[in-house]
Amino acid sequence: MKLKGVDMRLAAIAILTIATACTPLTTPSGATPAAAKTPAPSASPAAPLAAQEPVNLSGTGRTGLTRTFKLAAGRRTFTGSHTGKMNFSAVLKAADGEYITLVFNKVGPSSGLTYTTMVDKAGDYVLDVEADGDWTVSIE
């Protein structure tokens, strides 16, 4: 049987499905059967991210690779400044030279530069810095 283009069998199935999903299952005595009880999800908190010791780096002019520093895994924020007139770029690399991400790429004097990224793996890292003036980078 059709009612204004709707198959009544499909409508009945949809209504029963919704009603079953919204109605708690009970036994004739009114108790909820043990099989119908849904266990509460186990709430195991996510492991906290390792704390990051602040890293402060600075230099003048083209530095190339900075000293090696440790980064903990997790979200890390880089803050930087540069007093030169030309390009200031800083690239995060693993200590073995593997490219991780471009942190800064700015022309001219700049202060208050910020960049946030996820560090997937704790370990030793370096910045590859190109600048023509005094620069600073701090990592938290």
pLDDT at res. 67:
96
pLDDT at res. 15:
52
pLDDT at res. 11:
52
Question: For residues 56 and 66, is the Cβ–Cβ distance under 8 A?
Answer: no
The H or E element containing residue 18 is: helix 8-22
| Model confidence, pTM | 0.64
The H or E element containing residue 15 is: helix 8-22
Tell me the CATH number of domain 55-139, given options 2.60.120.380, 3.40.50.10800, 2.60.120.260, 3.40.190.10: 2.60.120.380
- Sorted by where each begins, the domain ranges of the chain are 2-36, 55-139
pLDDT at res. 121:
96
pLDDT at res. 9:
56
Cα angle vertex 78, ends 95, 117, to 5°? 75
96/30 Cα distance (integer angstroms): 67
124/121 Cα distance (integer angstroms): 9
pLDDT 10s per residue in the chain (140 long)?
444 555 555 455 545 444 444 444 444 445 544 544 444 544 444 444 567 889 999 999 888 899 999 999 999 999 999 999 999 999 999 999 999 999 999 999 999 999 999 999 999 999 999 999 999 999 99
34 secondary structure, DSSP code:
G
pLDDT at res. 62:
85
